[in-house]
Structure formats: C-alpha cells, structure tokens
Amino acid sequence: MRRVAVVGAGMTAFGEHFGLGLKDLVPMAVTEMADSVEKGLDRADIQAAWFGELTTTDGFPSGILADSCGLLDIPVTRVENACATGNDAVRNATYAVGSGVVDVALVVGADKVRESSARSTFWEWAALTRDMAWDYPLGLVAPANFALHVARYLHESPATREHMAMVAVKNHRHAVSNPKAQLRFEITVEQALAAPMVVAPFGLYDCTPQSDGAAALLLVAEDVVDRYTDRPVWVRGVGLGLDRVMHQHKTDMTTFPPTVKAARAAYTMAGLGPDDIDVAEVHDCFTGVEMISYEDLGFAPRLGAYRLVEDGVTSVGGAKPVNPSGGLKAKGHPPGATGVAQCVELFEQLRGESHNQVDGARNALAHNVGGPTAVSAVTVLSVDRG
Amino acid sequence: MRRVAVVGAGMTAFGEHFGLGLKDLVPMAVTEMADSVEKGLDRADIQAAWFGELTTTDGFPSGILADSCGLLDIPVTRVENACATGNDAVRNATYAVGSGVVDVALVVGADKVRESSARSTFWEWAALTRDMAWDYPLGLVAPANFALHVARYLHESPATREHMAMVAVKNHRHAVSNPKAQLRFEITVEQALAAPMVVAPFGLYDCTPQSDGAAALLLVAEDVVDRYTDRPVWVRGVGLGLDRVMHQHKTDMTTFPPTVKAARAAYTMAGLGPDDIDVAEVHDCFTGVEMISYEDLGFAPRLGAYRLVEDGVTSVGGAKPVNPSGGLKAKGHPPGATGVAQCVELFEQLRGESHNQVDGARNALAHNVGGPTAVSAVTVLSVDRG
C-alpha cells in the first residue's frame, strides 16, 4: 500500500450548538481544514469523502455532507461504528487512498445530539449502539454499560475513585487552553468525588458531556503530498477490533479486547509499539475507561494504570501525555466527530502547533472504544523528524 | 490497485421473515456464501468485513455481524448509504483488498424491516434516507419522492403507465424461477394497470415490496484467488455518485445524476462501456425508476427506454436482460441487502449457474439508486472467457 498523509485538519468547537445543525457544523469544519492546508486546497481536487456520523438526526448523512459542502461530484460514504466511527472513517479512507484509486480524500466526522428539532437523539444513539433484544431493554445504556466494567476494574486493581477523579482533573486542566473544548474549567479531586452520582462508580465529573460538533481531515497519497505541504503527518497504522456485544458473553470485564485487537493491528502496520508513542488521545467517555485503555493500549501493565495517574505520566509535561486536548471528558463528545477530532488534535501536536503542545512529539495515537464495549478503532500518526 | 475477485456468494430468501431476526438472517447468508466457495473456505481466512445495513432495528450493526457469525477476531465496518448501501459496501471492501492490506474480505448486506419487535422500521428507514428539515416533513417518503420524478418522466418521454406495467410483468416473470424471490407469481399488464394506486403514477404493482433478508460475498485478492476457485468473477469497476438532497434543488427530474456519475466511475475503472454489459441488475424500487435508469446507465438513449421495454430487449432472451432475478420489484428489497444480493445474482449469472441464466454472459452490472434520489452505486463484474 502506498503511504497516506494528513495534510489538513480542522474542527468546530465542541459544545451545545443549539443554533447550529449538521448542515452548519460540517462546512465549518471543512472550511477550517481547507484553510489549514499550507499550500492551499482547490476543493475540486477532492476525489472522494468518508463521513463518520452516528445519530442521523438531520436525515440522509452522505447527502448532507455533499450538499452542505457543495461537493456534489464526488462519492461520499457514510461509515458508522458506534463511538469508534471517527477513526474507522479514517481507516476506510486510508485504504482507498492507499489502494491507488483515490489521491485526495476528505474525512469528516460530525454529530448533532443536543436539542435536534427533528428527532430525539439520545435514544437513537443508545439504541444504535446496544443490543436491542437483551442489553438495551435491561437498561444497559452507555453509562450503565461502562459502569459494569469499571466497577469490576476498581475491585480487581489498586485503582480507586480518587484515581478516576485525578483523570478528570487532568483532562479538565488540559482543556482550559483548548479553544475548541466544551468544558474549559479546572476542577479539583474533592469536587469530582463530591459530585452527584450518575451510576456507580461514575460521578458527574467521571462522565463526558454530550456535544454537537464536526471535524475534518484531508488525506492524500504520498505521490501528491508535495502539492499540499512540506510537513506531512503520515497515517502509519490503522486498526479496528471487535468483541461480543452482550455483556453476559464477555469473559473479563476489566479489559476491552477490541482495543487490544485494534492497537495490535495499528502498531503492526506502523511498525511501532506503545513505547514509541509520544502523545495519545484516548477514549475517556468515562474516566475509568481511560485507565483501562492505558493497559489495553500497552501504556501500562495490567491493573497498573493507577501508577501513571499518580505519577503524572499522562499529564502534559509527563512522559506520555494523554488527552492534551481535554479528551472526551472536557473537550466534548459528538460521537461521529470524536475520532476525527482526536486526529485533528494529534495533527497539530505533530506539527508543533497545539494549544497544549507536547514537546518533540513524533508518534501519536488516537483511540476510540464504543458500542457495548464491543468495538475499538486506533490510528497511529507520525512525522519524519531529522 | 491489484485485482479483486468474488469467489463466493450466498443469500437468504427475501421475504417477510416474521420468525427471523438479523442475527438469524446474517449467518444464513454467510453460510450459503461459504458453501459456494469451490475449494472451500476456512472462516479463519477472513481478515475483515464490511456490513451494509440501514435500519439498525436490532441495535449495533457491526457487532451483530461479528457476534452472530462468530467472527470476533476481524474488523467489521458498517457502511450506510441509503438504498445504495449494498454496492457501496462492495466498493469499500474492494478498495481495502485492492490496497494490499486485506487479502480476504467478507461483504454482507442485510436488513430486517418487517415486524421488528424492537423498533418501528418504516419510519426509521424513511427518516434516515430523506432530508429531515424540509422534504420529509412535507411528505416526501420514498414513493412520493420517486413519483415526482416518474410523473415528470412520463410527461417528457413517450413512455406511459403501460410501459411501467410491462416492466412489472417482466420482473415478476423473471422471479418465478428464483427460489429466493419474494413475489414468485406472474401478473398481466391489465392487472398492473387495474391495481390500487399507491401514489400517482405508481399502482401497487409498480412498487417493490418491503422485505427482510441478507446476502454475502467473499472478495479476495488476485494473489490468493487460486486457493478458492479456478473460476473467479472479477470486480472490474466500482462507482458511487451523489446529487443534491432536496427536490427543489434538482435541475431535471427525468434523470438521476448520481447514476450517471456512479456508472461513469465504474465503467472507467472497468475499461468497459454500457454496450459491453451482457446482464444487469438495476434498481427498480418503482418500475419507472428502472426505465429512467436504462438511460442513466447508457443502455438506452435519452427518453428512449420505452423502446427497450416494448421490444423485449431487457427480458431474459433479449439482447440486454435486466433483473433476471426479478429485481427489487419481485425478488424483494431489504435495503442494506439489495446491492449485495444483486452481485450474488450476477456472480451466478457469470458462472453460468443462475436460475434464469443469460447465455454467455461475460460482463455484468449492478446498480442502486437511493436516498432522496441523491445517491447511486454501480458495480461492474466480469469473467475471463476463452
């Protein structure tokens, strides 16, 4: 497969955009992406698009992208894979560019989940991402679903609710300097622990907010990269992993096998391992999920994530910063947009242009885990440095 | 891009499977596909899957495929593109195999739209495939939407409701010998014209039924094709095209620009033209749509489709048989499955094994047009013949 580079990246602010719909958010992200392309982008260069969108609140997703961006002469595929949608859209576009069929591909992720006029969205999202015959009727919406895992994880590991609170504090602190983040305020461990309980062991500050937003990337083939930039960010590895959907079939609640599989695929394709990763955006839909993911991604030994938190390893300034953007926890989580927005953050990190820069970052990893903890997507990005 | 072959194909019967859900239908199709692989298929060979599914009535689609087929160690991407979903899933899998990353890919299309216990599906389907702000609230569900086009088409062209009835008669006749078809009975032109009106100009027999069903294909790289068969069917071309979503923005109601774009892309990639196509499965969700599509695909001159119908050109036995399976009209239409099932039919046609064989067929075309007539996908398949 020929090499694939990211040469442009943009996103809207994440938040409660009560006055904006998908048809506003998508072109805003695409315009910011186009403006970020160093040598300029003629939109007529774009040959195909992949659109990660989950909740379909505004109707036919592929058509909304084509129509709202005036991209009517190119194919647009909607990719949907629960909360792993964004990085799976990146993966499918990477294959198309790598195959030689497409030289210049647009990847957009977007969702509108707050106050849509057209449809109730929370239940759409929940129903789409669960098993509808068993888990969902029993009440396994996302917080309850992840809570089962994290409750068991706290039982098995030395980690405590205090460690989860420390993850929330870290990600809130990271978000303060991010102009695109939804929750740009610091919190304390005491505040997090005292917050109202959502579902044990998750208090309010352990949970991501629900957000509206869009993000966009431009992926191009190595053959044409020089037309767009002298500083490409390479898509070194992509991976997607699945697991059983229903919780009675899961053999170990303290790990997410889809992440292990997706990371293995992405690391293998990249020729890199967890120790090579300088900065990561990790799916912290709930604080405990970030900790479990440290282990599944190979950043920490089994049941040892708490040490990274205690030692500040994953704070910006530490050895392996995680979620310098604020993460889902504080940047926000429009599900279709999240994975693409992680890559937007890492594109800026690898070019040394982030609001919360990790010095000298060369290799970066984006990670989603979603659905009923049954799917994960991982993308590894790198820059060549002299 | 390296060459990609179809080496296995299978599908369930299409129909009202009140006793079966997606978790039953998907593995049934995959098992029939596996049984069709001449030299056998070890399921552990499958490296990745693409799943075309529209209505999400049973919940998380990718996970349902992985879980119900026991394919937990491979990535599964859900592709959704309204009624063009099936052939777009084929397109995305083709890119992944063509890229060199995947040698053996599974493509499944499925939908469960009749009497799902979990959710109302007709409105899900309608809402997902329309613009929700304007067209849908004004009543533009699929029959009304296509009726606007075909009413204008009947006004502009010499075609009449009698020609539409002749298309219905042809496709019903074709379905009689197809054990997988939903409506296996012949009708007469008189019956079609006398049937109750659904939405002018569509009577009952101008409309596809709604169906449950699943279909599966195995796509492999040229490098490994010999392991599976000595008679590969090659994916010669894939194409996807879009158009504006809302009807007030369409410039000509008598043609579907997405089909023109998708066909151009697929023909170009294949190095073939419409005259090279020996047999086609064309998206006849309504009879008039089959006629408009003859023109958009290049089978007939502009406004000249009626002649192909009058002259029997598109009947089996004619020069360019269309919908030997019975088409959506009589075989049925589970939206996510339809495009994949078209390729199942054409795989059998190109191997000389169809229930309604077109003698000597070498090149075949599958076509979907969907959403608010805003998306089309086309696949061109070929066999090498001495």
Q: What percent of chain A has pLDDT over 90?
A: 88
**Residue in B with minimal Cα distance to A240:** B75
Q: State whether A101 and B269 contact (CB < 8 Å).
A: yes
Q: State whether B72 and A244 contact (CB < 8 Å).
A: yes
Give CA–CA dist A365/A76, Å, rounded: 26
Name the minimum distance, in Å, from the CA of A57 to any CA of chain B: 8
The boundaries of every CATH 3.40.47.10 domain in chain B are 4-121+212-233, 129-210+236-382
Q: Which position among A17, A333, A355, A367 bears the catalytic label?
A: A333
User: Given CB atoms, is A251 within the 8 Å cutoff of chain B?
Assistant: no
pLDDT of residue B128: 84
Q: What percent of chain B has pLDDT over 90?
A: 88
Question: How many other β-carbons are positioned within 10 Å of the β-carbon of residue A171?
Answer: 30
Average pLDDT of chain A to the nearest whole number: 95
The DSSP bridge partners found for residue A363 are: A382
As a whole number, mean pLDDT of residues B1-28 equals 96
The answer to whether A230 and A38 have CB atoms below 8 angstroms apart is yes
Query: What DSSP letter does each residue of A307-323 carry, written as one string?
Result: HHHHTTTTSBTBSS-B-
Active site residues of B: 83, 333
Q: State whether A80 and B61 contact (CB < 8 Å).
A: yes
Pairing of strands A76-80, A4-11: unpaired
As a whole number, mean pLDDT of residues A205-215 equals 96
Give CA–CA dist A287/A293, Å, rounded: 10
Task: Say yes or no: ipTM exceeds 0.90.
Answer: yes
Helix axes B287-296, B161-175, angle to 10 degrees: 100
Q: Which of B3, B55, B56, B99 to probe the A interface (max A CBs under 10 A)?
A: B99
Give CA–CA dist B148/A16, Å, rounded: 38
pLDDT at residue A375 greater than cutoff 90: yes
User: Given CB atoms, is B379 within the 8 Å cutoff of chain A?
Assistant: no
pLDDT in tens, B135-160: 888 888 889 999 999 999 999 999 99
As a whole number, mean pLDDT of residues B115-124 equals 60
Give the pLDDT band of residue A133 (cuts 50, 70, 90): confident
The boundaries of every CATH 3.40.47.10 domain in chain A are 4-121+211-233, 126-209+236-382
Q: State whether B133 and A74 contact (CB < 8 Å).
A: no
As a whole number, mean pLDDT of residues B91-113 equals 96
Give the pLDDT band of residue B120 (cuts 50, 70, 90): low
Name the minimum distance, in Å, from the CA of B348 to any CA of chain A: 27
List the single range of A106-110, A134-138, B267-271 with lowest mean pLDDT: A134-138
Pairing of strands B48-53, B76-80: parallel
Phi-psi region of A350 (alpha: psi -120 to 50; beta: other; left: phi over 0): alpha
Phi-psi region of A64 (alpha: psi -120 to 50; beta: other; left: phi over 0): alpha
Q: Please return the burial class of A327, using the count of CB atoms within 10 Å of its CB with bins 0-12, 13-18 and 19+.
A: buried
Residue A198, H or E segment: strand A197-199
Compute the radius of gyration of chain A from its Cα atoms: 19
Question: How many other β-carbons are positioned within 10 Å of the β-carbon of residue B139?
Answer: 9
User: Given CB atoms, is B99 within the 8 Å cutoff of chain A?
Assistant: yes
User: Given CB atoms, is B145 within the 8 Å cutoff of chain A?
Assistant: no
Q: State whether A130 and B240 contact (CB < 8 Å).
A: no
Could you tell me the fold of the domain covering B4-121+212-233? Peroxisomal Thiolase; Chain A, domain 1 (3.40.47)
Give CA–CA dist B285/B147, Å, rounded: 11
**Distant-in-sequence, close-in-space partners of A189: CB < 8 Å, separation ≥ 6:** A162, A165, A166, A169
pLDDT at residue A137 greater than cutoff 90: no
User: Given CB atoms, is A82 within the 8 Å cutoff of chain B?
Assistant: yes
Give CA–CA dist B23/A160, Å, rounded: 39
Q: 3-class DSSP state for residue B189? A: helix
Give the pLDDT band of residue A117 (cuts 50, 70, 90): very low
Size of interface A-B (CB pairs under 8 A): 218
Name the minimum distance, in Å, from the CA of A331 to any CA of chain B: 25
Cis peptide leading into residue B201 (ω within 30°): yes
CATH fourth-level superfamily of B129-210+236-382 = Thiolase/Chalcone synthase (3.40.47.10)
Q: 3-class DSSP state for residue B331? A: helix
Give CA–CA dist B156/A51, Å, rounded: 36
pLDDT at residue A123 greater than cutoff 80: no
pLDDT of residue B117: 47
As a whole number, mean pLDDT of residues B64-74 equals 95
User: Given CB atoms, is B148 within the 8 Å cutoff of chain A?
Assistant: no
User: Given CB atoms, is B241 within the 8 Å cutoff of chain A?
Assistant: yes
pLDDT at residue B271 greater than cutoff 60: yes
The residue with tokens 């089909």 is: B259
**Residue in A with minimal Cα distance to B243:** A72
Give the angle B144-B146-B150 at the CA atoms, nearest 5°.
115
pLDDT of residue A116: 54
Q: Which two tokens stand for residue A36?
A: 């970020």
pLDDT at residue B357 greater than cutoff 80: yes
pLDDT in tens, A183-198: 999 999 999 999 999 9
CA atoms in the 13 A half-sphere facing the CB of A360: 6
A83 is catalytic: yes
Give CA–CA dist B172/B182, Å, rounded: 10
Residue A92, H or E segment: helix A85-99
pLDDT at residue A39 greater than cutoff 80: yes
pLDDT of residue A119: 56
pLDDT at residue B28 greater than cutoff 60: yes
Residues 221-240 of A with CB under 8 A from B: 239-240
As a whole number, mean pLDDT of residues B309-322 equals 98
Give the pLDDT band of residue A25 (cuts 50, 70, 90): very high
Q: Which of B99, B118, B265 sits opposite A99 (nearest CB)?
A: B99
Pairing of strands A202-203, A197-199: antiparallel
User: Given CB atoms, is A133 within the 8 Å cutoff of chain B?
Assistant: yes
The answer to whether A181 and A330 have CB atoms below 8 angstroms apart is yes
Q: Which of B4, B25, B60 to probe the A interface (max A CBs under 10 A)?
A: B60
CATH fourth-level superfamily of A126-209+236-382 = Thiolase/Chalcone synthase (3.40.47.10)
Could you tell me the fold of the domain covering A4-121+211-233? Peroxisomal Thiolase; Chain A, domain 1 (3.40.47)
Query: What DSSP letter does each residue of B101-136 carry, written as one string?
Result: S-SEEEEEEEE--SS-SSS--HHHHHHHTSBTTTTT
B296: nearest Cα among B318, B265, B332, B341: B265
Give the pLDDT band of residue A382 (cuts 50, 70, 90): very high
pLDDT in tens, A63-95: 999 999 999 999 999 999 999 999 999 999 999
Give CA–CA dist B344/B349, Å, rounded: 9
Q: Which two tokens stand for residue B330?
A: 């009589």
As a whole number, mean pLDDT of residues B254-282 equals 98
Give the angle B37-B178-B306 at the CA atoms, nearest 5°.
115
As a whole number, mean pLDDT of residues A280-291 equals 98
Contacts of A133 in chain B (CB under 8 A): 21, 23, 58-59, 117-118
Question: How far, in Å, are A237, B332, B364 from residue A384 at the CA level?
Answer: 15, 53, 46
The DSSP bridge partners found for residue B216 are: B10, B108
What does the buried/exposed string (b/e) look like for B222-235 if buried means 16 or more CB atoms within 10 Å of the residue's CB? eeebebbbeebbbb
Average pLDDT of chain B to the nearest whole number: 95
Give CA–CA dist B146/A214, Å, rounded: 31
Give CA–CA dist B95/A325, Å, rounded: 32
pLDDT in tens, B215-256: 999 999 999 999 999 999 999 999 999 999 998 899 999 999
